[in-house]
Structure 1
Amino acid sequence: MNQKLITGGASIAVLLCSACSAPELVGRPDLAIYENKPLPEPVREDLVIPPRPYVLGPSDNLNIDVFGIPELSKSVTVDLTGQIALPLVGQLQVSGLTTGELTSVLEKKLRQAHVLDPQVTVNIANAASQIFTVDGSVAKPGVFPLAGRMSLMRAIAQAAGTTEFARENYVVVFRTVEGKRYAALYDLRAIRQGMYDDPEIFSNDIVYVGDSQARRLFRDIITAAPLITTPLIILLR
């Protein structure tokens, strides 16, 4: 059990002196650390985040263009059952498909409807179905759209970062895979130090940042400190 006794000005001076020491960056053996000099410049491949196929879902807005046939070109929204409706095609289940897969399905359906050599283009006008949630001790908890690839640190940044009461060594990511619920525990401090990679966040993940009750207690006591007339001793666990 770590104990810190705070009894007055002398202890505060000790804490201030300890805070003045330079932080040490500790990482994995394969992590190249540069101190007080510029990092190497990234090459072109480093500037692009590797793409991940976007899977269509309810509320996504799509622009579907059939070359040379404007009456078949439509802007549609995937309904809550994961379907769209198009001329000559009818109702079509698209939830779970990529835009490339949907393009192939539409071209096949149109050929079956006697459209000669259909050339279909599907573009996502508004991606609304891919989301993740950030909750707990963050400045702005909520549900956020998942645009492209997302990491844990970026997800927390979307929620405006952690609060002063955050327990950064207790960050849990909840995920459902094939009907099974999983939870992984992460330490943001270790990620910042390069101890392990910043994990990827996927659609429907829930990120929870823990709360430090000890810090809240300390804040409340310090707020009430002007009313205290006896020496202050606090045990932090």
Structure 2
Amino acid sequence: MNRIPAFALVPALLLAGCVKNAPPVASVPDSPVTALKNLPEPEASDVVRSTRLAFVGPFTELRVEVFGVPDMQRDIMTDGKGNFAFPLVGSIAAAGKTPADVSEEIRQKLAGRYIRDPQVTVNFKASSNPLSIQSMSVTVDGQVNKAGAYPVVGRVTLMRAVALAGGTNEFAKLEDVVVFRDVGNQKYVGIYNLEAIRRGNYPDPEIFPNDVVVVGDSPARRRFKDILAVVPALLSPVILLAREF
């Protein structure tokens, strides 16, 4: 996934979260940018109209069907942790999984032991409350070890979102972590200093479904690694002045 340039989101509201009372920074001169103390939380309509993959969450209504087995065609509802019980299968931990993932898990547990070649389908019930479905994921990109989309189950903060992506890699610029968020018809951009959050300088912000988190790149760290790569080939010691990256 390519990093989204901030200027593509202008006009936007920019949260300067790197340091306290930091001035807003715009990618386009004279662009209409307003500094906010916090990124606003998404509205219910933002959740419902999401086009991302839908994930099972707590209190989600599902229709489970095993073809040719009437007793295994039933409606179920997950509990507060996103789990449910199914005949011959036992407990299924469905939270954070797609219906396709759940159907495959049930198929594997039935195959061979109870049914030779089970055909299992799992779908959200039409009557299911859209807000009970963890219908969106958070996308984590940039200098992390496992960039990708991760289901949001329960409360997820910025540090947890980065941890889901395997943490930052050696080239990460921790003071340049950007969060993109759509609320209503407005686009918001928040800039955070992950290192400062880790030190407890300010609270770890909450991340919501559909947010895109991009961890910045430190060119200085890449240059430093290039220098270290040639050091073993030298015959005399090399003293490097280490600067803040």
User: TM-score scaled to structure 1, two decimals?
Assistant: 0.49
User: TM-score scaled to structure 2, two decimals?
Assistant: 0.48
Larger radius of gyration: 1
